[in-house]
Amino acid sequence: MSADMTPADKAKYVSARRAADLVENGMRVGLGTGSTAAFLVRRLGEMVRDEGLKIRGVPTSTRTADLARAEGIEVITLEQAGWLDLTIDGADEFDNDLNLIKGGGGALLQEKIVAMASDRMIVIADAGKHVETLGAFPLPVEIIPFGWQATRKLIEELLISMDVQGHDTALRMASESPFVTDEGNYILDLDLKRIGDAQQLAQALNQIPGVVENGLFIDICDTVVIGYDDGRLELR
């Protein structure tokens, strides 16, 4: 751990290292995206190089694929893997039922496909990601670029019909242009403050033509490894 890490980074680091201990020889491992997942990939790289760990990794973004290769981890596609033993990924929020908001890094589609194709999903997170009710973090929704304004209108109408108060929907930007995901789509960030019925919202969003996937991960995560900035760990 480097001395100039922020408290949040220290918490992410300890969480990622603890989760890396759960990876065993021969496993096909889904590799998440984001700063916490990057700590994990670097640790797995060390284990591959220094301890002879043999794994095959399925990355959830080009960013993670590049990092995993640079770390010496064998990278395969989900098609090649067929199924995964374990996926380890970060999250933007988790609640007491281990439901999540993901997609802050824009990789929610591949992240959800990979997590769903795994025997087990472990989330690594600093304690600040824990919430009583999901929704303080804006909910990312991946949408097709074609007619994206119409899709946004339909999403806004849905939110009104579900009585979600004070919502705001913003097209995610990267400098002057829309942010484009690895799958060539856009992201709408829904600032909802509080999501009353996450399951209902997740299902309703995915019914809208133009919506590819949303960042609510309901009943997908099995375990959260929570890191604290003083080095403590908690498994839920």
Stretch that binds ligand 5RP, among 44-52, 105-113, 142-150, 223-231 (CB under 6 A): 105-113
97's CB contacts (< 8 A; 6+ apart) are none
By the rule CB under 6 A, 36 interacts with ligand 5RP: yes
By the rule CB under 6 A, 189 interacts with ligand 5RP: no
Q: H or E segment at 234?
A: strand 233-235
CA angle, residues 61, 63, 64, in degrees to nearest 5: 70
The nearest distance, CB 33 to ligand 5RP, in angstroms, is 4
Among the listed residues 30, 32, 45, 59, the single contact to ligand 5RP using CB under 6 A: 32
Stretch that binds ligand 5RP, among 71-79, 89-97, 188-196, 218-226 (CB under 6 A): 89-97
Q: Which amino acid is at 104?
A: G
The reply to whether 181 sits in an annotated binding site is no
Nearer to ligand 5RP, 71 or 111 (CB): 111
- Taking the C-alpha atoms of residue 141 and residue 125, their distance in angstroms, rounded to an integer, is 21
By the rule CB under 6 A, 111 interacts with ligand 5RP: yes
Among the listed residues 57, 106, 138, 227, the single contact to ligand 5RP using CB under 6 A: 106
The nearest distance, CB 150 to ligand 5RP, in angstroms, is 25
The reply to whether 223 sits in an annotated binding site is no
The reply to whether 12 sits in an annotated binding site is no
The half-sphere exposure of 112 on its side-chain side, counting CA atoms within 13 A, is 20
147-153 CB contacts, 8 Å cutoff, 24+ apart: 147/210, 148/186, 148/188, 148/210, 150/210, 151/188, 151/208, 151/209, 151/210, 151/211, 152/188
Strand, helix or coil for residue 102: coil
The nearest distance, CB 220 to ligand 5RP, in angstroms, is 12
- Taking the C-alpha atoms of residue 213 and residue 231, their distance in angstroms, rounded to an integer, is 35
167's CB contacts (< 8 A; 6+ apart) are 156, 159, 190, 191, 192, 193
# residues near ligand 5RP by CB under 6 A: 18
- The sign of the dihedral angle between the CA atoms of 21, 22, 23, 25 is positive
- Known catalytic residues are 111
The reply to whether 33 sits in an annotated binding site is yes
By the rule CB under 6 A, 107 interacts with ligand 5RP: yes
By the rule CB under 6 A, 34 interacts with ligand 5RP: yes
Question: Which residue ranges make up the annotated binding site for substrate?
Answer: 33-36, 89-92, 102-105, 129
Q: Which residues bind to ligand 5RP, rule: CB under 6 A?
A: 32-37, 89-92, 102-108, 111
